[in-house]
């Protein structure tokens, strides 16, 4: 059996935005074609489109036959749905015409609130709700009927539509099981994934095609295990074909991808690192070309932005978060250490600068200021090499995450002391100004963000023979 593509290039998870950015009034079916073409034109190999979330068919791409599902009321698509056309068919057809694979993506435990009539199964069965979400109805996979409900949705998608695979999104709504019980439910969820795999294989054999299973999980093996996801077994048993991990909102620049890629390297499963969303359609589509071409990435500047991502998970009596800010008391000798992962060999690059943005210091445009000492991996950075500026008005949202008044320190980063992989930035208060009134001075200082900007190798300045001469200017 063969599939349409063996090397997909980019795998794009279209989780939303179809109705917000890509379809407009007055609506025409050609807009669905344009939607697919935008991805094909910019190097995507697999388009994984959300078709099910929170117990309903949002964003309304097909009218279900399943008795416990209802059509999500999408007014732009109503004139197609009511006569019997399925917008999902149109998307799939265009994807195949353009050489893309098309996956149907399901949010497996979405927490978003929907009208009760739009999620009939969830509404009709409060006894199946997950107690870890007391404020919103989310299903508990401990119950066999919940697993069967989702299997029936997947079976219908495979039976009715010429899709190339299924994506299970476990990061939009994190709890398939109650927080305290997930680690004991590995066998239950793994058997559920096996059933999906068997369903894919059965329909694949009838088509003479290998159908794929893609999963998205949270970016921690221990967290996945605490939530009930035995990802290692899924890979080792050959149950899944594509694996990605992320926190649902942003790319975590501190994520160590090596354990995930090593898990997949001797299997038939491919690991796809996730890149977070970029705003500004359609301009943002240009970023797809960049991330799909490693050589192009090497030739341009790289900007690594380490900041609090604002996500916290609780499972198995523990909390997991990716809030990387470091807070220390504002007194002489207080020291904070910020860890950051740098996937660069700086010895092979051009210039590199590191910026650290600190809240709570006594800083003024002139006059007395709190003094700091900075080290990277235990090696002090000479004070003469460190520049400093105080932003009295903070930072506006258009320039990044909003900040109150803050102080930036920056300096050239070299290797050594920096290294490819994990690094430690230490900031120690060497002097604290106790008089006067710095606009942002407080009882604590917070290392809020670290930025690393890496420039590519220097431009080759050798003459361009045959194009320029001493007496001729082009």
Tell whether 335 and 284 lie within a shared domain. Answer: no
Tell me, yes or no, whether 395 lies in a domain: yes
What's the rounded Cα separation, in Å, for the pair 60 and 25?
16
CATH number at residue 370: 2.60.120
Boundary-marking domain end, from 284, 299, 314? 299
Residues 271, 394, single domain; the answer is no
**Which of 282-296, 403-417, 418-432, 433-447 shows the lowest per-residue confidence on average (mean pLDDT)?**
433-447
Residue 464 lies in a domain: no
436: pLDDT confidence band, cut at 50, 70 and 90? low
402 and 287 in one domain?
no
Residue 247: give its domain's CATH number.
Answer: 3.20.20
**Are residues 161 and 36 both part of a single domain?**
yes
In a domain, 45, yes or no: yes
Q: Are 221 and 122 in the same domain?
A: yes
Identify the H or E element spanning 290.
Answer: helix 286-291
Distance between CA 117 and CA 133 in Å, rounded?
A: 20
Same domain, 166 and 294: yes
Instruction: Answer yes or no: is 5 within a domain.
Output: no
Q: Does residue 352 carry a pLDDT above 50? A: yes
Predicted confidence (pLDDT) per residue in 230-253, tens digit: 999 999 999 999 999 998 777 888
Residues 6+ apart with CB under 8 A from 28: none
Identify whether the C-beta of residue 410 lies closer than 8 Å to the C-beta of residue 374: no
pTM, entire model: 0.91
C-alpha–C-alpha distance, residues 379 and 381, integer Å: 7
294 and 333 assigned to the same domain: no
Q: Minimum mean pLDDT among 29-38, 291-300, 392-401: which range?
A: 291-300
Mean pLDDT of 320-327: 91
Q: Tell me the C-alpha distance between 211 and 214, whole Å.
A: 10
Q: Are residues 76 and 200 in the same domain?
A: yes
Residue 417 within a domain: yes
The answer to whether position 306 is within a domain reads: no
**E-state strands within 134-201:** 165-169
Total structural domains in the chain?
Answer: 2
pLDDT > 90? residue 378: yes
Task: Say yes or no: 22 and 66 in one domain.
Answer: yes
pLDDT of residue 3: 38
* Tens-place pLDDT, residues 198-212: 999 999 999 999 999
In whole angstroms, give the CA distance from residue 240 to residue 196.
10
Whether residue 35 is contained in a domain is answered as yes
Q: Are residues 288 and 414 in the same domain?
A: no
Backbone angles phi, psi at 74, to 5 degrees: -105, 105
The whole domain housing 383 covers: 325-454
Q: Do 165 and 209 have their domain in common?
A: yes
Q: What is the predicted pLDDT for the residue at 465?
A: 57
Contacts for 404 with CB less than 8 Å, ≥ 6 apart: 359, 394, 440
CA 418 to chain centre: 26
Mean pLDDT across the stretch 6-12? Answer: 76
Termini Cα distance of the chain: 57
Sheet with 335-342, edge to edge strand ranges: 335-342, 421-431, 371-376, 379-380
Asked if residue 465 is part of any domain, the answer here is: no
Query: What distance in Å separates the CA atoms of residue 446 and residue 168, rounded to the nearest whole number?
Result: 38
309 vs 244, residue with greater confidence: 244
Q: Mean pLDDT, to the nearest integer, of 321-350?
A: 94
Q: Is the dihedral of CA 330, 333, 334, 340 positive or negative?
A: positive
Percent of the chain with pLDDT over 70: 93
Q: Which of 298, 274, 248, 327 is nearest to 456 (CA)?
A: 298
Which of 16-20, 170-174, 393-397 has the lowest average pLDDT?
A: 16-20
């Amino acid at each position: 059996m063969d599939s349409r593509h063996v090397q997909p290039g980019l795998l794009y998870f279209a989780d939303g935005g179809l109705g917000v950015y890509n379809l407009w009034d007055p609506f025409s079916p050609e807009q669905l074609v344009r939607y697919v073409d935008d991805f094909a034109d910019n190097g995507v190999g697999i388009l994984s489109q959300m078709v099910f979330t929170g117990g309903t068919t949002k964003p309304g791409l097909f009218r279900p036959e399943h008795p416990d599902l209802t059509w999500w009321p999408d007014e732009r698509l109503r004139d197609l749905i009511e006569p019997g056309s399925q917008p999902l068919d149109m998307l799939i057809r265009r994807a195949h015409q353009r050489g893309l694979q098309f996956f149907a993506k399901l949010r497996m435990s979405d927490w978003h609130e929907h009208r009760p009539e739009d999620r009939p199964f969830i509404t009709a069965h409060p006894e199946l709700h997950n107690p870890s979400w007391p404020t919103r109805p989310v299903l508990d996979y401990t119950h066999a009927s919940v697993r069967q409900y989702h299997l029936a949705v997947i079976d219908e998608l495979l039976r009715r539509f010429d899709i190339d695979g299924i994506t299970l999104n476990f990061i939009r709504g994190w709890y398939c099981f109650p927080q305290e019980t997930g680690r004991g439910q590995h066998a239950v969820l793994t058997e559920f994934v096996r059933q999906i795999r068997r369903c894919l294989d059965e329909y694949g054999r009838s088509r003479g095609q290998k159908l794929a299973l893609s999963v998205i999980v949270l970016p921690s093996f221990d967290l996945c295990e605490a939530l009930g996801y035995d990802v290692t077994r899924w890979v080792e048993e050959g149950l899944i074909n594509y694996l990605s991990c992320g926190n649902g909102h942003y790319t975590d620049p501190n994520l160590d991808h090596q354990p995930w890629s090593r898990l997949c390297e001797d299997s038939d499963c491919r690991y796809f690192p996730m890149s977070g969303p970029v705003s500004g359609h359609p301009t943002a589509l240009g970023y797809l070309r960049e991330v799909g071409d490693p050589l192009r990435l090497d030739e341009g500047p790289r900007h690594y932005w380490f900041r609090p991502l604002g996500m916290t998970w609780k499972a198995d009596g523990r909390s997991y978060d990716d809030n990387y800010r470091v807070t220390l008391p504002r007194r002489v000798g207080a020291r904070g250490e910020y860890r950051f992962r740098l996937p660069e060999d700086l010895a092979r690059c051009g210039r590199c600068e590191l910026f650290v943005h600190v809240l709570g210091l006594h800083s003024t445009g002139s006059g007395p200021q709190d003094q700091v000492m900075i080290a990277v991996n235990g090696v002090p950075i000479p004070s003469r090499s460190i520049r400093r500026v105080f932003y009295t008005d903070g930072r506006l949202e258009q320039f990044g995450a909003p900040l109150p008044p803050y102080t930036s320190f920056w300096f050239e980063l070299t290797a050594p002391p920096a290294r490819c992989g994990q690094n430690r930035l230490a900031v120690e208060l060497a002097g604290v100004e106790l008089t006067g009134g710095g606009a942002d001075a407080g009882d604590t200082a917070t290392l809020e963000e670290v930025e690393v900007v890496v420039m590519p190798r220097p431009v080759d300045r050798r003459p361009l023979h045959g194009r320029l001469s001493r007496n001729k200017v082009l």
